[in-house]
Amino acid sequence: MNKRNKVKHLNREKGHRDALINNMITSLFKYERIESTQAKLKVVRSHAEKIITRAKRNLATDIAPAIALHNKREVLKRVKDRNIVTKLFEDIAVRYASTNGGYTRILKKINRASDNSEVGILELTNRKDRSSLIKEIKDKREAISDSKKEKAAAPAPAKKEKAPKKEAAPKAKAAKKPAAPKKAVKKAAPKKKK
């Protein structure tokens, strides 16, 4: 029986399950569409929708900076890639600003031939088409490579010269005290076996 057990174990231990969910959520926000088994997609869907709702909280104009930072840190617990977190807060959350829930959908596919498991697609409802996503990724890569080239071409800043060290004044030799005699340490005799 599975009474009062809300966690879907997915035949994995906690650490493995959390890593799987985090990676799938990250891929969902990166590509806006992932394919996996129905059981995994249902679990990932609930986590992803909560994360999008968390990102939407930062769209309010009167939000305190501490609360906005807290929201980003809570999302960073699940999504480890900072670029994807910025995409989530600046792009995906804005797309769903007027929507209350229902950010994702699961589409069913034909069962997998090898093991006959139910397979599906999890995607964002307001997702961009593949060509525009690829173009955005290429533009970001080019911007990063251009900034690296500019840094490499720029002359290195001149190093500051170190101040000369002051010479230490010669120390007066103190009169040597006679060394105290060392005490002899007695070793315990080995115990006899009975």
- Residues 106 and 88: beta-carbon distance below 8 Å: no
pLDDT at 104: 96
The DSSP symbol for 126 reads: T
Q: Look-up: residue for tokens 């840190």? A: 73
pLDDT at 44: 97
Side-chain half-sphere CA neighbours of 112 within 13 A: 11
Q: How far apart are CA 32 and CA 128, in angstroms?
A: 8
Q: Look-up: residue for tokens 């939000």? A: 63
In order along its 194 residues, the chain shows pLDDT tens digits of: 878 888 999 999 999 999 999 999 999 999 999 999 999 999 999 999 999 999 999 999 999 999 999 999 999 999 999 999 999 999 999 999 999 999 999 999 999 999 999 999 999 998 888 888 888 888 888 998 998 888 888 876 777 777 777 777 777 666 666 677 777 767 777 777 76
Q: Note the pTM of the prediction, 2 decimals.
A: 0.71
CA 186 to chain centre: 61
Q: Look-up: residue for tokens 């992803």? A: 48
Q: Which residues of 41-69 are buried (b: 16+ CB within 10 A; e: fewer)?
A: bebbbebbeebbebbbebeeeeeeeeeee
The DSSP symbol for 188 reads: P
